[in-house]
Structure formats: C-alpha cells, structure tokens
Chain A
Amino acid sequence: MSTWTEDQPIVSIKNVRKAFGTLEVLKGVSMDIMKGEVVCIIGPSGSGKSTLIRCVNALNDIQGGSITVEGQEVHTENLDKLALRKKVGMVFQQYNLFPHKTALENIMMAPVKVLREDKADVKERARELLKKVRLYDKEDSYPGELSGGQQQRVAIARSLAMRPDVMLFDEVTAALDPETVKEVLVTIKDLAADGMTCILVTHEMGFARELADHIYFTDRGVIVEHGPPDTFFDNAKDPRTKEFLDQIL
C-alpha cells in the first residue's frame, strides 16, 4: 500500500474510538492532516487530546476506526513498528531524555543503535541538529545539567535525528518555566517554517493562533469544532468552544 502521494493526507484519522476499560476517551474522532501542515489540538484536560496523538504512533491501541500515516494503516496486526516510528517523531511533556547519556549521545543513540547508521555521519548530523535548536555548546552536558527548556530542545533534536516526516508534540511546554517556554516555541516555529508536518497538543493559545494552519477543539472525546485559527478564535460557533475560549483567553 505504498500508493500514497503528497496530495493525500499524510496523517488520516477516521472515526477513532479508544477506551481505557469502560472509560471511553475518544468517541469517534476524525481529522486529516496534509503534508507540511501545522495542526494544534486544544481542549480541556481529560478531553483525549494526548491519547489521540499517542494513538498516531501506536503508543496506545484503538478500539475502533482507523489511522493511516502516509497511507499505511497504523493499527493492524502486521504493523511495521520500525517503519512507523521512523516516519513519526514524538516529543513528550516531561522531555524523557536518557539521563545516563550526554545531549549528543541522546540524539545519536536511536540512529546508531536502531537504524545502524554510520556513527561518524550521525555525529555530524547530531551536531547540526544541536545547532538548529541553538544548543551547540551543550553537546557534552548531561540532561541533569540542562534547564527544562534546554532539555526539551534536546528532546526535539533527538526526535529529528530519525528524520521523521511528522512530528507529534504532546504538551511540550506544559512542564516548563514561563521564561523557557519561548525558546522551545521558537524551535518549533523554525521546524514549521522548514515545512515539517507538526501535530501539537497545546495550551499556548497565542502560539496556536500564530502558527497553526488548522485548530481542533476537543471535549469529552469528540471534536467539537475546528477551523483555521482566525475563524476559530474570533467566530467560534459552538457554546462549549466559546466557554473554553472565554476561560482561557
């Protein structure tokens, strides 16, 4: 099924249902994301935002519907996990860097150990990525020696080292000090400017408005409303969206 072309959605989510035991978290969610698009998913806590993007790279399974990445079905028995995770990178709220490795080693580890690429090539690429996230002088620092914002930028570089086509960001600024939020957002902005497809779960409304091509608002497991940022923020139609925006803006 490698018939995917760039005019088709790079990530296609169709009627996805997900339950933890008897608790239904996603009750039929659909969205299509085109290559190069930046999509922000916003909504109150517990509305299933994080669960949804974790389903995209198969960290969570689903109970119904389908998700395809570049035309490949994600939730099948014979999923090629390696191929999927090469295509889809993910950055977490708590960075989750490997504490026993330096920043550079964190970035190099997956390409060298998993993809078995040449170490010297990977090292060169890792240094470039560090430069890209503006941490060129921190390559020998351990995660414990870096600030939250710096750790998160290393985490972004680590994910990029696998040369993904889609990046998932799961509330990546939620655990950061206010003054370091900006440096991480700038990094994501650079990425989007380079044409990376980004799916962000975020509470940064200003950032979402500025950067996103499309905004999805989820509540209680369904997509309540979606649209381009200007329409979404200024002319929200659904009362639940309005209520949420009133509280947060």
Chain B
Amino acid sequence: MANRAIPGVAAHATTDLPVMLPFNPKAGAHDELLVSRWLASVPPRYVFFLLLLWPVAAFAQGVDYTTADAFVALWRWIPFLTFQGFVFNILISVCAMTIGTLAGAVLGLAHVSRLRIIRQVAWFVTQLFRNSPWLVLLFIVLLAFPFQIEVFGTTIPIPGWVKAVIGLSLPIMANISEIVRGAVQSVPSAQWEAAESLAFTRTQTLWQIILPQCFKRMIPPWMNWYAILTMATPLCSLLGVGENINFTRQAMEAEGNRPELLVPFFGYSLVLFFAYCYPIARATMALEKRFALKL
C-alpha cells in the first residue's frame, strides 16, 4: 500500500497504516427505502414550479403548429388517458401488489422454516426473481403462458393484462419475501426462547409473538415497493396492454405524430404518475420516522 498523507498531521507525515487514514467507504450503505426517500425529498414547492415549467418547455419547442394547439389536443385526450389509461395502471399495480404480497409473505416465512430444503428453495426463488430484470420476467410470462386455457370444454381467454399482473407480481413477491424474512429475523432470538419456555409451539410463537412485533416495521418498505411497482407499470405497454403510456402513444399518433406533442403528452403522464406516487413516498417516510421513534 502506498504511503498517504495523514489528515490533521504535519503535511510531510505519511503512512501506509490503514488505521491512521480516514475511513473511506467504497459505496454508501444499502438503503432499502432509496426510491421513497428520494421521491419524498422533493419539496412540495418544487413540484409547483415544475408544473409551471411544463408548458414553458413545450412553448420553447413550438414552431408552426403552436404549443397551444398541442395543449388543446391534450385537453381532448385527457379523459381517455386518465380514466382508461392511468386507472388501468393503478389496477395492474394493485392486483400485482396483492398477489405479490400474499405470495411474498408465504415465501418469506419459508425462509425461516425449520426444514433446510424449504429454506434453500425459498432462497433460490427469492434470488432468482429479485435479481432478474423486470422486463425479462414480463416477456417470459407473456410467452410462456397460453393466450387461452380450456377448462371442461369452456375456453377462457387470458388477456395480456392478466399476464402483465403475474409478471410484475414475481419480482414483488421476491422483494416482499425479503422484507418479511428481514423483519422476522430482526426480532431477538431470546423472544423465541421465552415463548418456547412458556410452551408456545413454533407456529404459535411466529403468529402471536414474532409477527405482531415486526408487522409495523414491514409497512414502510412495503409501501416503497408499491411505489416502485406503480412506476414500473408502463413496462406493460411493451406487451400491448392498454395502459397510460400505450394510449398516450396512440393518442399522439392520432394527432399526427407532431414533435410538439411529445412534451405535453408525456409530460401529462409524468404528472399523473408523480401525483400518485409522491404522496405515497411522503407517507412512507412519515411512517418510517414514526415507527423509528417508538421501540
């Protein structure tokens, strides 16, 4: 190791002893709530200024087909983009979150199973779906699932959005399972022992003593993942699911694909997603703060 100057000591003094040098972390500590923390850190007044900037940016672009025209076009499309497009994004996110949470809770509890084989399978499944790109998972589900199934002679079609929900619930499941595992393991093992000495079985201990203690701790990271999921729902447009981004592109096409339309239309999508996720992020951080103060 090369000699380096020691901070706070005479300029010519150098050392190669790591203990004398300032601690220099290679990377910041892992932050589970990074997305929410970042989003919630945007002060509300900036949001207002950014909203003012939106038409201004669009004006700067205008040449012939005026910006006013573009916004008039957007105005006509707003009900469609919102109530058929964005509402569908929310529907997809709620469905994927519900499935992902239920499956993730089961998977997370499998992590603390007494049977080694179950723990290993749970670990594998979690790592697989946590570390795969979401888009890849979406395409696998899209291509692997049939577009219809036959049950007792009745043909039930599986629409694209159902596949999208399944595809998105997989990474959510894996990440929720990590939240559950981490929360359960954060309870001191002495609590298990105390319960055991009072004749509680393992299952009773888990449901009546361990989970009630760590339930609150799971809420902020859970909400964090909901915000991430919602922001990821536009991925479904690549599967042809009729959601906000897909409809926005179609609307712009219908308006003649003018470049002046880009900022107003995609800007509106941005506003919608922001308006939905920003309060969630603020609430996440508020809850995180409140739970941190208590025991």
Contact = CB atoms under 8 A, between A and B. Distances in A.
A86 B199 contact: yes
B186 interface: no
A146 B200 CA distance: 24
User: Which of A82, A86, A97, A114 has its CB near the most chain B CB atoms (within 10 A)?
Assistant: A114
A113 B200 CA distance: 8
B196 interface: yes
Interface in A80-101: 81-82, 85-86, 88-90, 92, 94, 96-100
Contact of B191 (A89, A96, A162): A96
A3 B156 CA distance: 67
A92 B190 contact: yes
Contacts of A86: 199
B204 interface: yes
Nearest to A94: B190
B42 interface: no
Contacts of A92: 190, 193-194, 197
A90 B200 CA distance: 13
Range, interface on chain A: 20 to 34
A158 B199 contact: no
Contact of A113 (B191, B204, B212, B295): B204
A110 interface: yes
Interface of B, secondary structure class, is helix
A202 interface: no
A44 interface: no
A81 B204 CA distance: 14
A85 B197 contact: yes
B199 A110 contact: yes
User: Which of B190, B196, B197, B212 has its CB near the most chain A CB atoms (within 10 A)?
Assistant: B197
Nearest to B214: A100
Contacts of B199: 81-82, 85-86, 110, 114-115, 162
Interface residues of B, number: 17
B275 to A, nearest CB: 36
Interface string A95-128: 0111110000000011001110000000000000
B262 interface: no
Nearest to A158: B198
Contacts of B213: 98-100
Interface string B203-233: 0100011001100000000000000000000
A228 interface: no
Contacts of A90: 197
Contacts of A59: 193, 196-197
Contacts of A159: 197-198
A46 interface: no
Interface string A208-227: 00000000000000000000
Interface string A145-185: 00000000000001100100000000000000000000000
A110 B198 contact: yes
Given A92-B190, A100-B213, A115-B199, 11 more contacts: A88-B197, A90-B197, A96-B188, A96-B193, A98-B194, A98-B213, A109-B198, A110-B198, A110-B200, A113-B208, A159-B197
Interface of A: 57, 59, 81-82, 85-86, 88-90, 92, 94, 96-100, 109-110, 113-115, 144, 158-159, 162
The 6 closest A-B pairs by CB, nearest first: A96-B194, A85-B199, A110-B198, A90-B197, A96-B190, A114-B199
